[in-house]
C-alpha cells in the first residue's frame, strides 16, 4: 500500500520533433549520465559558463541541512547578466522588449539596459545604500523592476521584491522583516484598465516601517491621468526616479561578491503570520538559473523568450530576469492582464513580438480553454517553437489544449516542477531529449537527485508518495531570513534523523517509465475511507469533461468516510450549471478514476480563489466547505471571489 493512491492513468506520449531534436542543446543521455556519475564535477562544469572574479576553492561544503557552494569564489550577478555581453554582437541586441497594458512599448538593448543599471546603482549609493543593505522593490511589471534588481546586485545590496498587487499590510510586514533601508515604487500601475495606487499603498505601509529612509518613485503614467502633481511626495524621504537618474553617472564598477553572499530575499505567497523570507545567494543561484534556462528552454541566440510571470514571484526572478539575461536572451515583459482589453491579448503579443518560447501557468491555460479557441485563432502563432508550464500541476486535458491550439501540435512542452525554495527548475523534460506525457513533469534535470518516499522515509520505486530532494543543489535556499530554526523545521525535519533530506511539501507519483507526476501539496491530500487521494487526479478527471474549464477539489469532514470529496467547478463559456450537469460530473469522475473519488458535493463557480501568482487557494475552499471562518485572504487576486463562493455554498447547503 503506497502512501498516496494512484488513480489516473495516462498513456499518450510525444517524442521530441525530429527537426527540434537535431538542433537542441541536449539531445542524448550523456549529460544525465555524467551528472549522475559525478554531480560535483557536473555542477563545477556548469559554473564555468559564468564569469568569475576569483575561482572557487571548493565546489560544495555540505553540513546537513546547510550547504555552501563554490566557496572562495567571487563574481557579480549584474556583470554576468549585462557587462559580459557588451563586447560582442549582443551589445545592440534587445534584452527587454516591454509592452504596457495601455499599449505603450519600449525596447532596451543590452547596452541601454547596462547603462540604466549602472546609473541606478549610483543613485542607490547616493541614498546611502551599501553592500548587504536591504532594498524593497514594489513596482508594476515595467523595465525599471529589472533595472532595480540588477542595480542592487551590482553594488551588493540585497533586494526583496514584493508583488505590486499586494496590500500595504503585506508590504509593511515584508519590509519590517527585512529591515529595508530604501523602497522603490511607482506612482501607479495598470491592471484591467484601472490604476493600481502603488505610491499610496507604499505611504500607508511605511507608516509602520521605521527602517525605511528613502522612497524612489518611478513615473508610470503612460496613457493615464497620473502626473507629478497628483502624487503626494514627502520632502526629504521621497524622490522621483527620473530626476535622480538625470544626473547619475553611468559608470559603476560591479562589486565582487562572495558566492555565498545573499543576492535576494523573496517572501513566499500565501503565508500567514510572520512572513517567510526565502534567502538565495549569489553564486549557486546564478549557476542554477543560467544552466536550467539554457537547457530546459533550449535557448538560442535568435529566440524571443516570454515568461509571463511577474518579478514579484520566483518565476519572474529566475526566468524573466536572471536566467535569460545570463544567457544573453531577448525577454518579453508585459505589464497587464491576459484578457485586457480583449481575451486575445496574449496571442496578439506573441504575434506582434515574434515570441518563440512561451512560459506560462496552468491556471492561465485553463482560463484560455474556458474562453474558447477563437481567440488564439485570430493570430499567427507560427513563431512559437517551445511551450512551457509552471506553477500548479497541469491537467492532461489542459496540456493537450495547449499542445494543439497554441503549439499547433508541433511545439514540445516543458512542464516544470520547482519552488521558490529550489530557486530553479528541478524536474522537467529536456525538449530535445525527453518524450513527454500530458500532465507529467517527466524526470529530474541533470545534477538533481529526487526520490519518492513513504511517511517513514522508505523509498517507493513506483506509485504515490512524498517528493524529496536527497542531495544539495546550487540554487537551493540557504535559510529563512532571520529564522534559521524555522528553515530546519520546515524543510529538513520530515524524516527524523535525516537532515540531508529536503521535503518539498508535495505529493507525487512515479510510473513504470520513471516519469514523475506532481499530485499537489500534501496538505491538500484527501483521506477518503482509508485511502489517500491526491487532489490533482480528481481535478484532472473533472477537467476532462467538455463542460469544465477548471476545478479545485478539497476534503470535507464525513462521519463515515473520514473525508468526502468536495469539488468547486468553473464551466467553459457556453455551458450552463444545472443539477443534471452536477450529477453527470459526479458520475464522470467515478467512471474515469473510480467510485472512491466520486465527489459528494459539486459547486459551480464563476471563478476560483487564487493567489496573485495564479495558485488556487484550496485552504480557503476547505474553510468554505467546512463552514469555518475564512483564513488569511491578503494574498488573493480577488477577495470578492471567496466571499461570493461562501455565500453560494451556504445557500446550497441550506
Average pLDDT, the chain: 92
pTM higher than 0.75? yes
More confident residue, 632 or 365: 365
Residue 1 has pLDDT above 50, yes or no: no
Give pLDDT, residue 634: 63
DSSP 4: B
Strand, coil or helix: what is 443? coil
Q: How far apart are CA 175 and CA 164, in angstroms?
A: 14
Q: Domain 18-431+440-491 has what CATH class? A: alpha beta
581-638 pLDDT, tens per residue?
999 999 999 888 888 889 999 999 888 888 766 778 888 888 888 887 766 666 666 7
Instruction: Please report, for the chain, the start and end positions of each structural domain, with discontinuous segments joined by +.
Output: 18-431+440-491, 525-653
Positive/negative CA dihedral, 249, 261, 289, 69? positive
Q: Domain 525-653 has what CATH class? A: alpha beta
Angle of CA points 351, 356, 357, to nearest 5°: 120
Mean pLDDT of 5-30: 89
215-273 pLDDT, tens per residue?
999 999 744 555 666 789 999 999 999 999 999 999 999 999 999 999 999 998 544 46
Give pLDDT, residue 270: 43
408-451 pLDDT, tens per residue?
999 999 999 999 999 999 999 999 999 999 999 999 999 999 99
- Count of beta carbons in the 10 Å neighbourhood of residue 208: 12
Residue 74's DSSP bridge partners are 54, 258
Residues 6+ apart with CB under 8 A from 491: 65, 421, 477, 502, 503
**Is the CB of residue 414 less than 8 Å from the CB of residue 293?**
no
Amino acid at each position: 500500500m503506497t502512501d498516496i493512491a494512484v488513480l489516473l492513468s495516462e498513456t499518450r506520449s510525444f517524442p521530441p520533433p525530429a527537426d527540434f531534436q537535431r538542433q537542441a542543446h541536449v539531445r542524448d543521455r550523456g549529460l544525465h549520465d555524467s551528472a549522475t556519475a559525478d554531480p560535483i564535477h557536473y555542477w563545477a562544469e556548469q559554473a564555468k559558463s559564468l564569469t568569475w572574479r576569483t575561482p572557487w576553492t571548493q565546489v560544495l561544503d555540505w553540513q546537513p541541512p546547510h550547504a555552501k557552494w563554490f566557496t572562495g569564489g567571487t563574481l557579480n550577478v549584474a556583470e554576468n547578466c549585462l557587462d559580459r555581453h557588451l563586447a560582442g554582437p549582443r551589445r545592440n541586441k534587445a534584452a527587454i522588449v516591454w509592452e504596457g497594458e495601455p499599449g505603450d512599448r519600449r525596447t532596451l538593448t543590452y547596452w541601454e539596459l547596462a547603462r540604466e543599471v549602472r546609473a541606478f546603482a549610483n543613485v542607490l549609493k547616493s541614498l546611502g545604500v551599501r553592500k548587504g543593505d536591504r532594498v524593497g522593490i514594489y513596482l508594476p511589471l515595467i523595465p525599471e523592476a529589472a533595472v532595480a534588481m540588477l542595480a542592487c546586485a551590482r553594488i551588493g545590496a540585497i533586494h526583496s521584491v514584493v508583488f505590486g498587487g499586494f496590500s500595504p499590510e503585506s508590504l509593511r510586514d515584508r519590509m519590517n522583516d527585512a529591515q529595508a533601508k530604501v523602497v522603490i515604487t511607482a506612482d501607479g500601475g495598470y491592471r484591467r484598465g484601472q490604476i493600481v495606487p502603488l505610491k499610496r499603498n507604499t505611504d500607508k505601509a511605511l507608516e509602520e516601517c521605521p527602517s525605511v529612509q528613502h522612497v524612489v518613485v518611478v513615473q508610470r503614467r503612460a496613457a493615464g491621468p497620473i502626473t507629478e502633481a497628483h502624487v503626494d511626495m514627502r520632502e526629504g524621504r521621497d524622490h522621483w526616479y527620473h530626476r535622480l537618474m538625470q544626473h547619475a553617472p553611468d559608470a559603476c564598477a560591479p562589486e565582487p561578491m562572495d558566492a555565498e553572499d545573499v543576492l535576494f530575499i523573496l517572501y513566499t505567497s500565501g503565508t500567514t503570520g510572520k512572513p517567510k523570507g526565502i534567502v538565495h545567494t549569489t553564486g549557486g543561484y546564478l549557476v542554477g538559473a543560467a544552466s536550467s534556462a539554457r537547457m530546459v528552454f533550449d535557448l538560442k541566440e535568435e529566440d524571443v523568450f516570454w515568461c509571463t510571470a511577474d518579478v514579484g514571484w520566483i518565476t519572474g526572478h529566475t526566468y524573466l530576469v536572471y536566467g535569460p539575461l545570463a544567457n544573453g536572451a531577448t525577454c518579453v515583459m508585459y505589464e497587464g492582464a491576459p484578457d485586457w482589453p480583449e481575451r486575445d491579448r496574449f496571442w496578439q503579443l506573441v504575434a506582434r513580438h515574434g515570441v518563440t518560447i512561451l512560459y506560462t501557468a496552468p491556471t492561465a491555460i485553463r482560463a484560455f480553454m474556458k474562453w474558447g479557441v477563437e481567440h488564439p485563432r485570430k493570430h499567427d502563432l507560427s513563431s512559437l517553437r517551445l511551450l512551457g508550464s509552471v506553477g500548479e500541476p497541469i491537467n492532461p486535458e489542459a496540456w493537450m489544449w495547449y499542445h494543439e491550439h497554441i503549439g499547433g501540435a508541433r511545439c514540445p512542452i516543458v512542464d516544470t516542477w520547482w519552488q521558490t525554495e529550489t530557486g530553479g527548475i528541478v524536474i522537467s523534460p529536456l525538449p530535445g531529449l525527453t518524450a513527454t506525457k500530458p500532465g507529467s513533469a517527466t524526470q529530474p534535470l541533470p545534477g538533481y537527485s529526487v526520490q519518492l518516499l513513504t511517511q517513514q522515509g522508505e523509498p517507493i520505486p513506483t506509485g504515490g508518495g512524498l517528493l524529496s530532494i536527497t542531495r544539495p543543489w546550487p540554487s537551493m535556499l540557504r535559510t529563512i531570513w532571520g529564522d534559521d530554526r524555522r528553515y530546519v523545521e520546515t524543510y529538513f525535519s520530515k524524516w527524523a534523523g535525516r537532515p540531508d533530506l529536503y521535503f518539498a511539501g508535495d505529493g507525487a507519483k512515479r510510473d513504470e517509465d520513471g516519469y514523475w507526476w506532481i499530485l499537489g501539496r500534501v496538505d491538500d491530500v484527501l483521506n477518503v475511507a482509508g485511502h489517500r487521494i491526491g487532489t490533482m487526479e480528481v481535478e484532472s478527471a473533472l477537467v476532462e469533461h467538455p463542460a469544465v474549464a477548471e476545478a479545485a477539489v478539497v476534503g470535507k469532514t464525513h462521519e463515515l468516510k473520514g473525508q468526502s470529496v468536495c469539488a468547486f467547478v468553473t464551466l467553459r463559456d457556453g455551458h450552463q450549471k444545472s443539477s443534471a450537469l452536477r450529477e453527470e460530473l459526479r458520475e464522470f469522475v467515478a467512471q474515469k478514476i473510480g467510485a472512491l473519488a466520486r465527489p459528494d458535493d459539486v459547486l459551480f463557480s464563476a471563478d476560483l480563489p487564487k493567489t496573485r501568482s495564479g495558485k488556487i487557494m484550496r485552504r480557503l475552499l476547505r474553510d468554505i466547505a467546512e463552514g469555518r471562518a475564512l483564513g488569511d485572504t491578503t494574498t488573493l487576486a480577488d477577495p470578492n471571489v471567496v466571499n461570493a463562493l461562501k455565500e453560494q455554498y451556504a445557500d446550497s447547503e441550506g
